[in-house]
Chain A
Amino acid sequence: MTAFLSWLLGRLPIGWLQLKHNRGRLAAAVAGIAFANILVFVQLGIMMALNTTILVPYSLLNADIIISAADSNSLTDGSNVPRQRGFEALSIAGVADSLPLFIGSINWKKDDGSSTNLQVMASDPAKGAFLAQPIRDEIAKLFLIDTVLLDRSTRGADEVRFEQISPQNPMLFEANGRTLSAPGTIDVGGGFSSDGFAYTSDQTFLRLFGKRISGAPNHILLKAEADRDIDIVIAELQELFPTGKVKVRTLEEAAHADQVYQTTERPTGLIFGFGVLMGVIVGLVIVYQLLSTDVADHLKEYATFKAMGYRQSFFLSIVFEEALILAVLGFIPGALIATILYQFLSEASSLPIMMDNARLIVVFLGTLASCAISGAIATRRLAGADPADLF
């Protein structure tokens, strides 16, 4: 290691030798940086899980354009949209088809007395083309009244029972005073606002939610004809509809706007964002403490080097060398432990908390940068001082 670093740096690897000299201190520093890493990873994991689960219901759909009420920020909030908007939209050249989408939420009361909150999405089962693949194949099972597709990744779901679900062996359960039958399953997973999903037909939905009427769905999905410029279609639709009543957006835009809204304007998003910020700040403080204490402890030795004619850049390079070594040594256990914690958290919460490469790279670079900057700040004390004052 020493020989390799000597070759790499073209000088004695003082930083490495210093770190190696005091093994107890090195272990403490590595543990500190690993802890800072874990802190940031966990906060980031939860926030990214929120970001991911927001997109999940959109990923069930296969539409080009979504018409929502003007006051709608996500799939579940805001006013309803008059069904006639869907018919009006068909008058625009380029709009191939339209589909009213209903969204609600039910409490699934289980035999053991517990209840699970499911987000219910519903549409005409004859228009499977508006749905993404796993649901599209199952949608035909919904032509029978009072049938739903249940989410087998629902939090707390009985896996063995869900495995057995088939049209011949449907699962029966009760919600909103009706007995429902699940002849099939979909795999979606719970989020922060519900434990899982259920997909059903518009007719079943209207029976489940007696106060809803077929003329007022939550959103209307549109499919454009192939080779049409979606932006032009959207512009024409916006012209068609009375101003200030509806939002016409691509499905991606709507999903992105939902993500922004939920992470910056809703309490959960704000809290997790704040958690990440706190994690980063606490991590920075730990790293700065470590590096500045290290520089302070070697100040006398650095002053000697300065008296011998070493430049400020030499001290910076020692500190950067230490920063790099500490960042790498701390990051490896930090990332490993965080991955294990992710596994544990995602099993306990059935949220999609998973490690990915982009996050690894960002956190590592952040660790490296904060180590280097902390060290650089700590060596400033050396820059202006007379060596004689530092002994």
Chain B
Amino acid sequence: MAHPGDKFPIVTERLNHWFGMGEARKQAIFDVSLEIDAGKLTILVGPSGSGKTTLLTLIGCLRDVQNGSAQLLGQELNNASEAELTASRQKLGFIFQAHNLHESLTALQNVRMGLEVHARQSPSKKADTYNVAAAHLLNLVGLGDRQKYLPSNLSGGQKQRVAVARALVGNPLVVFADEPTAALDKESGRNVVALLRRLGQERGTTTVMVTHDNRILEMADRIVTLEEGRIVDDKRFDT
């Protein structure tokens, strides 16, 4: 059965966005219409201030849509209620520029938080099931032996890999990544993106990534270039 958003999980139409109020009001996104292909890795590139992160946070339900349309898995985000936004967020995995791990939680517990958001109410599926699934994801990102480590005892690359595990543990249909390699050296940055791409392909996940980092562009299925809030280039690659 076909669901809305099956072919294009993310669709924007004439999306505009402004920051600030009154005199200081400044437009950051201009008339962006975009369809993101299911199951592919799409990379948004552009210079600083081109609006790529803003676009990502709009379609990632991290910022209210002001004008135009943005649909995520069939849900219109413009004027969506808090409950609808929360439901949409639960279908996503988000990887932040800084890893944003919870400092008081171990690697395993951090990954578990990506699961607990889904079925917190069912007591039968508690601790053990969650821990098994979270440990499995940590193994996949190569940190099976670091389950009990607090973030402060992990390297930058390891933290970002925990963040990847947390984003993927709930089997999200869409994964957003905002400059996931910014805080990493070349080697670990490449490893993290390669991991994200491999897991995405295995699971049929749609991945949208914002980056400055030219070294990882070769892994993209599609590169969308923004400049001053507008799409100026859009290339698809057959891989």
Contacts and interface: CB of A to CB of B under 8 A. Distances in A.
Interface in B99-131: 100, 102-105, 109, 112-114, 116-117, 120-121, 123, 126-127
A319 to B, nearest CB: 14
Given A308-B94, A309-B87, A388 B63 contact: yes
A388 B57 contact: yes
A300 B100 contact: yes
Interface in A1-22: 6-7, 10-12, 14, 17-18, 20-22
Nearest to B98: A391
A305 B113 contact: yes
A3 to B, nearest CB: 8
Contacts of A12: 105, 109, 112-113, 116
Interface in B35-70: 57, 60-64
Interface in A267-309: 300-301, 304-309
Interface string A17-50: 1101110000000000000000000000000000
Contact of A386 (B63, B94, B166): B63
B129 to A, nearest CB: 13
A386 B64 contact: yes
Main secondary structure of the interface of A (DSSP, over half): helix
B61 to A, nearest CB: 8
A387 interface: yes
B89 A301 contact: no
Contacts of B123: 10
A344 interface: no
A300 to B, nearest CB: 7
A87 interface: no
A306 B87 CA distance: 11
A10 B116 CA distance: 9
B86 A309 contact: yes
A281 to B, nearest CB: 32
Interface residues of B, number: 35
B133 to A, nearest CB: 14
A18 B104 contact: yes
A274 B94 CA distance: 53
A189 B47 CA distance: 84
B127 A17 contact: no
A256 B88 CA distance: 62
Contact of A308 (B57, B113, B126): B113
Given A386-B62, A386-B64, A309 B100 contact: no
B92 A309 contact: yes
A17 B109 contact: yes
- B89, B112, B121, B166 — most chain A CB neighbours (10 Å): B89
A261 interface: no
A14 B120 CA distance: 14
A15 B23 CA distance: 42
Contact of B62 (A11, A20, A388): A388
Interface string B189-205: 00000000000000000
A173 interface: no
B102 A307 contact: no
B115 to A, nearest CB: 10
Contact of A307 (B62, B104, B121, B127): B62
Interface in A109-161: none
B94 A14 contact: no
A11 B96 contact: no
B104 A21 contact: yes
A209 B14 CA distance: 100
Nearest to B117: A309
B90 interface: yes
B77 to A, nearest CB: 12
A350 to B, nearest CB: 50
Contacts of B103: 21, 301
Given A307-B89, A309-B89, A301 B116 contact: no
A30 B102 CA distance: 23
B89 to A, nearest CB: 4
A308 B89 contact: yes
A119 B67 CA distance: 82
Nearest to A384: B82
A292 B104 CA distance: 18
Contacts of B117: 305, 308-310
Given A309-B90, A310-B117, A14 B105 contact: yes
Contacts of A6: 126-127
A311 interface: yes
Listed from nearest, the 4 A-B pairs whose CB atoms lie closest are A309-B90, A309-B89, A21-B104, A388-B62
25 contacts: A7-B127, A10-B120, A11-B116, A12-B116, A14-B102, A14-B105, A17-B105, A20-B104, A22-B104, A304-B102, A305-B102, A305-B113, A306-B89, A307-B60, A307-B62, A307-B96, A308-B90, A308-B117, A309-B89, A310-B117, A386-B57, A387-B62, A387-B63, A388-B63, A391-B96
Interface of A: 6-7, 10-12, 14, 17-18, 20-22, 300-301, 304-312, 314, 386-389, 391
Given A308-B113, A389-B63, 15 more contacts: A6-B126, A11-B120, A22-B104, A300-B100, A301-B100, A304-B102, A306-B89, A307-B60, A307-B89, A307-B94, A307-B96, A308-B92, A309-B86, A311-B86, A387-B62
